[in-house]
A and B are shown apart, each in its own frame.
Chain A
């Protein structure tokens, strides 16, 4: 059984159908990157996985359990799925330590004593253990995004979703975030990313998914697809993003 099974999912906003029957499996330990033009439905698909968007038909199973905004145990499901956003979405009024430990404390994953240790350990993984007492506004974009990743890690997620997490960053800050994500990948985290970082898609991901007009247009081994795109759409997409 795959960790995530997406079965013939359709989603529309009014008359605009953004997902036209998408099926996709994510196995435990896989690093799946979803690429495609803007408007191809890749972010929407990602947000359906933790029920941030409701789907109109089809089914999404997470660890065998059907996911929807109305499901029983929605919160328990979300505690197992970390998501990192393009705009970081840290809580501006909390220190980095509080940002990271808020959810573990409120959901009973740790007590107040354990929280400090937890904060230190996850912040160490993203190289920011010295920023415990800082506020988000005092950090660079790259640092804020690493804290956002640490905030998810503190919940010990079974799956991590990344929604264009480097797109809002200055170019010189992208590397530090990607490095953290590569380390997570190396440690066996299951990850699904929507990204424009073609090097990450090619070299780190275990599976590449190319979406086009609300469909999975091509999927497979990244190096094979990059070297040998089967459709003219992927070929032209790779051509535009070469480098």
Chain B
């Protein structure tokens, strides 16, 4: 039995906490911006003009079929060559938003597609506007249909923010590397870091389950 010693990590609790806060900042910012990208992307994919559809489709395919690590490097290292400089956090938020937006576009599109055209027709026949039909009739059941996949994607994003450490954004994984280099307690540092990520995910999953239960009360088939 090797002798584990977590005690040296205690002095670095502030670094851990700051790391967690930065991780949450990256996750929440990228989710918000990514969702906005996703909403626009989904609407364009469903009914936009052909050039716009092709552009969005190209964006999605490029982002979903290349490494996220590479994307973050490109956002961090390329813009400075034209005089546009991002801080590590800014570059990470931009890259992760673009990343999340590609997945969100597809998920939201599938949500909108899951609502039968007859529902839209019924709303229009009652004399409602297109916006009223979208917001009152299409979106609530569409959001319910995609709730499991969009929340899973959120979890993947939260875990994926660890790659921001590679452009030295001081999120949780970056903090872990720093503390490891100071204490040489690699196992303890990464075990604790693992535990923190796991706890964060579990807390979010519980919150999502509670929100889902409160928001989606209507009975469905099956």
A89 pairs with B119, CB closer than 8 A: yes
Shortest CB distance A70–B (Å): 14
Chain A 73-97 per-residue mask, 1 if CB under 8 angstroms from chain B, else 0: 0011111011101010111111000
Tell me, in angstroms, the Cα distance from A107 to B140 when the chains sit together: 20
- Residue B160 CB within 8 A of the other chain: no
B132 pairs with A89, CB closer than 8 A: no
Shortest CB distance B191–A (Å): 44
Q: How large is the interface on A (under 10, 10 to 19, 20 to 34, 35 or more residues)?
A: 20 to 34
B127 pairs with A79, CB closer than 8 A: yes
Pull 23 A–B residue pairs with CB atoms less than 8 Å apart, ordered by A.
A52-B121, A75-B129, A77-B127, A78-B127, A79-B126, A79-B127, A82-B125, A87-B118, A89-B119, A91-B122, A92-B141, A93-B140, A93-B216, A102-B128, A102-B136, A106-B128, A106-B136, A107-B126, A107-B127, A107-B128, A151-B126, A155-B126, A155-B127
| Majority SS at the chain B contact face | helix
- Residue B137 CB within 8 A of the other chain: yes
Shortest CB distance A53–B (Å): 11
- Residues in chain B near residue A81, CB distance under 8 A: 125
A-B contact count (CB 8 A): 64
B140 pairs with A83, CB closer than 8 A: no
B118 pairs with A75, CB closer than 8 A: no
Please list the residues of chain A having a beta carbon within 8 angstroms of any beta carbon in chain B: 50, 52, 75-79, 81-83, 85, 87, 89-94, 102-103, 106-107, 135, 137-138, 151-152, 155
- Residues in chain B near residue A77, CB distance under 8 A: 127
Chain B 134-176 per-residue mask, 1 if CB under 8 angstroms from chain A, else 0: 0011001100100000000000000000000000000000000
Please list the residues of chain B having a beta carbon within 8 angstroms of any beta carbon in chain A: 118-119, 121-129, 132, 136-137, 140-141, 144, 216, 218-221
B128 pairs with A75, CB closer than 8 A: yes
- Which residue in A76, A87, A103, A137 is a CB contact (below 8 Å) of B126? A103
B125 pairs with A75, CB closer than 8 A: no
